[in-house]
Amino acid sequence: MAMFKKIVRNFGPEWGAAVMGTAAICITMQLSSEVAMPFSSLLYVGLGFYLLATVMLVTFLIPRTPRFFMYPALSNNFVYRR
């Protein structure tokens, strides 16, 4: 349990960039396959990256969601204040 708390505490929003980057590769592959050929292998590679991005999103939400409840002070650091 102590290891999960340590992971939750240190799991920041920067992990969302990994999901966005993987999804960008997916979109690029899909658009490239439409330009090259309708049944290009790039479409299937893009589908693989889409599934990987979906799995990463769900996996990264598991430690990210409890952080809002367990450490609310850390979660409020990213709110813009005047």
- Tell me the C-alpha distance between 73 and 30, whole Å: 41
In a domain, 4, yes or no: no
Directed axis angle between helix 15-36 and helix 41-70, to 10°?
Answer: 160
pTM: 0.73
Confidence band (pLDDT; 50, 70, 90) for 7? confident
- What mean pLDDT value characterizes the chain? 81
Q: What is the pLDDT of residue 38?
A: 65
Residue-range definition of the domain harbouring residue 52:
14-74
Q: What is the pLDDT of residue 68?
A: 81
Number of domains in the chain: 1
- Tell me the C-alpha distance between 58 and 9, whole Å: 18
Per-residue pLDDT tens for 16-54?
A: 888 888 888 888 887 777 676 766 777 788 888 889 999
In a domain, 22, yes or no: yes
In a domain, 80, yes or no: no
- Tell me the C-alpha distance between 52 and 11, whole Å: 19
